Amino acid sequence: MATAQIQESGPSNPAVRTAKQMGRFNRWDTPWLNTKLLLGVGIIALILLFGIFGRLFWDTKLALTGKSPLNLPPVGLTTTLGGKLTGTWAHPLGTESSGRDMLALIIVGAPNSFLIGIIASTVGMGLGILLGFTSGFVGGRADDIIRLLSDVAITIPSLLVLIVIQSLLRQVEITTIALLISLFAWPTPTRLIRAQVLTMRESGYVQMAKLSGASTFSIMFREIMPNLIPYLFASFIGNATGAILAAVGLETLGLGPQRIPTLGGTIYFAIQGAALLRNMWWWWGIPTLLLAIMFVGLLLINLGFDEIANPRLRQSSQ
C-alpha cells in the first residue's frame, strides 16, 4: 500500500503533472504582462537605444553647425534649393541650412528631450509623494497648508511663468529647464496621491499596523505605498509626458537650450529657417514624427499602468 501511494503521488500521476503545468502557467498570469505596457516600453526602449548605440556608429559631431553640406534632402531624394542637390548615404536623413546632419541631431536630441521629462517628473513626483502622503495620512494643519499650496500652484499659468523666467536667463541647460518645469509638476500628483491615501488609511491592514505600534513613516511608506506602486508609475509617466510637452513648447519658442540639440530646438531652428516655405519637410517633419512616436509610447505605458492599478479596466480590455 505504501508503495502504491508513492507511485500515485509520483511525477507520472496525471493530476501531479496537471498541477505542475498549472503552476507553470500561473507564473505568467500576472497583470504586469500587459500588452499596452509592453508595447509602450518597447517603443520608448527603441528610441533610447537608437540614441545610445547610434553614437557608436555615427559621428555626433555632425550635429554641430557647419560640419555638413547645406540643405541636403534625405537619401534618394532631390531638391532644387541652391541648385540641384541629391541626398546621399553620407547624410541619410539630410541636412539643414546651418550645415547640421539630421541623423546626428536625432541621435543626440531624442535622449535629451526624454531626459528633460524624466528629471522634471522625478522631482515633481518626489515632492508629490512626500506632500500627498503627509496631507492624506497625517491630516490636520499639515493637510490644510498642503491643500492650499497645491490649489494655488494649480491656478498659476505655468507656461506663462516659465516663458517669463527663461526669457530672463542668458544660458539654459537641460537640467535648468527640467528643474524649472518641475516647479509646476508637483501639485497634481500631490492632490491625486492625497485622495488615494485618504481612502486607504482606514483599511484593516493600516489599522492593524497602528495597533502594533508601527511609526507613521513606516505605515505610509511600507504599508500603503507598495499598494500604490502601479498608480504612482502611471502618474509618473503622465508627469513625464507633460514635462516633455512643456519643454518642446518652450524650445519651439526659442527658450530652450541653444547649444545642446533637442527635438524641440530642432523644430525651432526649422521655423527660423523658413523650412515650411522652402519645402524642407525633413527638417521639421522628422523630429515632429519622433516626438509623436514618443508620446504614443508614453501613452501606451500610462494606459498599461492604469489597467494594472484598476482591475475593472483590465477586465474590460480582455
Give the Cα separation of 244 and 196 in Å (integer): 26
Instruction: Give the CATH architecture of domain 50-317.
Output: Orthogonal Bundle (1.10)
Lowest mean pLDDT across 12-26, 54-68, 70-84, 133-147: 12-26
The pLDDT of residue 77 is above 70: yes
Give the Cα separation of 265 and 248 in Å (integer): 8
Give the Cα separation of 159 and 189 in Å (integer): 18
The pLDDT of residue 6 is above 50: no
* pLDDT band per the 50, 70, 90 thresholds, residue 206: confident
Lowest mean pLDDT across 27-36, 104-113, 140-149, 285-294: 27-36
Residue 265 CB partners (closer than 8 Å, separation 6+):
109, 251, 256, 257, 258
Q: Give residue 292's identity as a one-letter amino acid code.
A: A
Mean per-residue pLDDT, 143-171: 88
Q: Residue 91: helix, strand or coil by DSSP?
A: coil
Q: Where are the alpha helices (DSSP H) in the chain?
A: 2-8, 14-28, 35-57, 102-133, 140-155, 158-168, 174-182, 187-200, 204-211, 216-218, 229-252, 263-272, 281-309, 311-317
* pLDDT band per the 50, 70, 90 thresholds, residue 28: low
* pLDDT band per the 50, 70, 90 thresholds, residue 139: confident
What confidence score (pLDDT) does residue 311 get? 67
* pLDDT band per the 50, 70, 90 thresholds, residue 89: very high
Portion of the chain with pLDDT greater than 90, in percent? 49
What confidence score (pLDDT) does residue 122 get? 94
The pLDDT of residue 70 is above 70: yes
Residues 138, 142, 144, 146, CA torsion sign: negative
Lowest mean pLDDT across 263-267, 286-290, 303-307: 303-307
What confidence score (pLDDT) does residue 316 get? 58
What confidence score (pLDDT) does residue 26 get? 53
pLDDT 10s digits, 254-269: 888 888 899 999 999 9
Residue that wins the pLDDT comparison between 95 and 210: 95
* pLDDT band per the 50, 70, 90 thresholds, residue 108: very high
Residue that wins the pLDDT comparison between 309 and 300: 300
Query: What does the domain layout of the chain look like in residue ranges?
Result: 50-317
Residue 37 buriedness (CB in 10 A; 0-12 / 13-18 / 19+)? buried
Residues 286, 289, 294, 297, CA torsion sign: negative
Mean per-residue pLDDT, 144-163: 90
What confidence score (pLDDT) does residue 87 get? 85
Give the Cα separation of 128 and 176 in Å (integer): 20
Mean per-residue pLDDT, 192-196: 91
Mean pLDDT of the chain: 85
What confidence score (pLDDT) does residue 213 get? 81
The pLDDT of residue 15 is above 90: no
Residue 258 CB partners (closer than 8 Å, separation 6+):
171, 172, 265
